[in-house]
A and B are shown apart, each in its own frame.
Chain A
């Protein structure tokens, strides 16, 4: 059983399209995240949700909108895709907010998005 799963694994699309990436975790965790790893290999947080509520929202264009239908799912919708959106997107989850210590984050396998 995959703890954190993402679909699709690869996504190739044209500029201007709207696309979604789905994420599901079966760990019973309360917090989920989206990270972006760009061409320079930096892995940066985009959003985090705790019990379906937005906790972290980094300076991400509002074309990116996370949607959490329940605490086991955090989907990422991207509107009007641009070339610079090409990257690997990782979903992750953790038990809590990590305020009590080094709360481990568990990552999904990533979705490689290529915008042509």
Chain B
């Protein structure tokens, strides 16, 4: 039972353009949504989060948008840089417990 889904296993974007990574979820009880970035042979690193009561959170080149009615969130990276090439995990959690539910990840390739 996949509560957090990332339907695109990979995405290629030209350097300097906008990267948009998508995520869908099924559980309307989630209170927070998070994005993690993972390089090969390293653990995931927290990137940005958004509370379920917000619809947008921005941090530098990274913006996360939340559409609760569609149970959809997206991560925008602009402009994309070579160092952004990594696997991006969408994740969600409820305030009542400490469990983070991860999606399967999307591999982002930034092309020169």
- B97: CB under 8 A from chain A? yes
- A61: CB under 8 A from chain B? no
Q: Which one of B17-25, B36-44, B70-78 is at the A interface? A: B36-44
Q: Are A110 and B43 in contact (CB under 8 A)?
A: yes
Query: Bound state CA distance, A4 and B43, in angstroms?
Result: 9
Q: Which one of A13-21, A35-43, A70-78, A79-87 is at the B interface? A: A35-43
Q: Are A43 and B44 in contact (CB under 8 A)?
A: yes
Q: Are B102 and A98 in contact (CB under 8 A)?
A: no
Q: Are B102 and A42 in contact (CB under 8 A)?
A: yes
Quick one: closest A residue to B105, CB to CB? A41
Write out the residue numbers on chain A whose beta carbons fall within 8 Å of the beta carbon of B88. Answer: none
Partner of A109, one of B41, B95, B97, B105: B41
Report B75 CB to chain A, min CB distance, Å. Answer: 15
Q: Are A101 and B43 in contact (CB under 8 A)?
A: no
Q: How many residues of A contact B (CB 8 A)?
A: 31
Total A-B Cβ pairs within 8 A: 62
Report A76 CB to chain B, min CB distance, Å. Answer: 15
Write out the residue numbers on chain A whose beta carbons fall within 8 Å of the beta carbon of B96. Answer: 99
- B51: CB under 8 A from chain A? yes
Per-position binary interface string of chain A over residues 86-116, scored 1 when its CB falls under 8 Å from any chain B CB and 0 otherwise: 0000101010011111111111111000000
Quick one: closest A residue to B45, CB to CB? A107
Partner of B51, one of A40, A102, A107: A102
- A48: CB under 8 A from chain B? yes
Report A21 CB to chain B, min CB distance, Å. Answer: 13
Write out the residue numbers on chain B whose beta carbons fall within 8 Å of the beta carbon of A110. Answer: 41-43
- A55: CB under 8 A from chain B? yes
Write out the residue numbers on chain B whose beta carbons fall within 8 Å of the beta carbon of A101. Answer: 32, 51, 95
User: What would 14 more interface pairs be, CB under 8 Å, given A40-B104, A58-B99, A102-B93?
Assistant: A31-B98, A41-B104, A44-B102, A48-B98, A50-B98, A56-B97, A90-B43, A99-B96, A99-B97, A101-B51, A104-B46, A105-B46, A107-B36, A107-B44
